[in-house]
Copies of this chain bind each other. A is one copy, B any other.
Amino acid sequence: MSDHHTYKKVEVVGSSPTSSDEAIKNAIAECGKSIKNMDWFEVIETRGHIHNGQIGHFQVTLKIGFRIENS
């Protein structure tokens, strides 16, 4: 058995009309459909669209780290 692991990070943008935390959760839920072993996330940027003078969507860029299978 190896004494170390290797991880990969992907950069995604989650969005939500409700809140910035919800945007993070949406991004993680979407990535969970295709990525196994998700381990941590890092918020890179928070921004959003304004529609008719109100927040249309929060848009949160995050990196998601996951262990490479069998590493």
Contacts and interface: CB of A to CB of B under 8 A. Distances in A.
Nearest to A12: B8
A45 B47 contact: no
Q: Is the interface of A mostly helix, strand, loop or mixed?
A: strand
A30 B68 contact: yes
A13 B21 contact: no
Given A20-B20, A55-B24, A55-B25, A50 B61 contact: no
Contacts of A6: 12-15, 26-27, 30-31
A58 B12 CA distance: 17
Interface of A: 3-17, 19-21, 23-32, 38-43, 45-50, 53-55, 57-58, 61, 63-65, 68, 71
